[in-house]
Amino acid sequence: MLLKKLSEKLGDPGKFLIPCDFPGMEICHALADLGASINLMPLSIWKKLSLLELTPTRMTLELVDRSITRPKGVTEDVFVKVGKFHFLTDFVVVDFEADPRVPLILGRSFLRTGRALIDVYAEEITLMYNPKSSNPTLVSDDLISENNSFKVPIVKSSSLTLTPFGESDFILEEIED
């Protein structure tokens, strides 16, 4: 009789956080949300970073608790540093109270820009630079010519005090007026 060894059954890794750097912020993690089509930034962080004017929007967001909120606007072309790369990103700015250590939500557009490959088992995300792109959306430092990818360990979010949303998922749904 031949017995096959079964692979170990693993649990849900839960939400994952991406470490990012901004001037004037000691610790900053962003919640990566594959369900979100937008990138989200609290109004308090927008003010702290002294970013350019907000572009008005008629967007309405429905949060996971079914509450409806209207964004203050959209801030465009913000550089988000992850590892050695700087990603050009647009954020929808909303007035809500966020954990200062996890102030941002990065959606699918950010992950696509960074050509993200997410290894759930290894708990890491690989971000890549495409030097052949005719329309570069990514700027990096001098190390870019040596290596066009960068592995970032995904920060464990097992502590409920580290994520601003506790046990619930944060779902953004754009609804029309």
Tokens representing residue 129 in the block: 């630079």
For residue 4, being part of any structural domain is answered with: no
Q: Is the pLDDT of residue 54 over 80?
A: yes
For residue 54, being part of any structural domain is answered with: yes
Sign of CA dihedral 15, 19, 20, 22: positive
For residue 62, being part of any structural domain is answered with: yes
Q: What is the CATH number of the domain that holds 142?
A: 2.40.70.10
Range of the domain at 75: 16-175
Tally the domains of the chain. Answer: 1
For residue 5, being part of any structural domain is answered with: no
Q: Which of 147, 150, 36, 136 is nearest to 94 (CA)?
A: 36
For residue 116, being part of any structural domain is answered with: yes
Q: For residue 110, report the phi and psi dihedrals to the nearest 5 degrees.
A: -65, -45
pLDDT value of position 175: 53
For residue 6, being part of any structural domain is answered with: no
For residue 165, being part of any structural domain is answered with: yes
Beginning with the edge strand found earlier in the chain, give each strand of the sheet holding 117-119 in spatial order. Answer: 117-119, 124-128, 149-153
For residue 93, being part of any structural domain is answered with: yes
Per-residue pLDDT reduced to its tens digit, 66-109: 889 999 999 999 988 888 888 889 999 999 888 777 889 999 99
- Report CA-CA distances (Å) from 95 to 45, 69, 98, 148, 161: 10, 9, 9, 36, 20
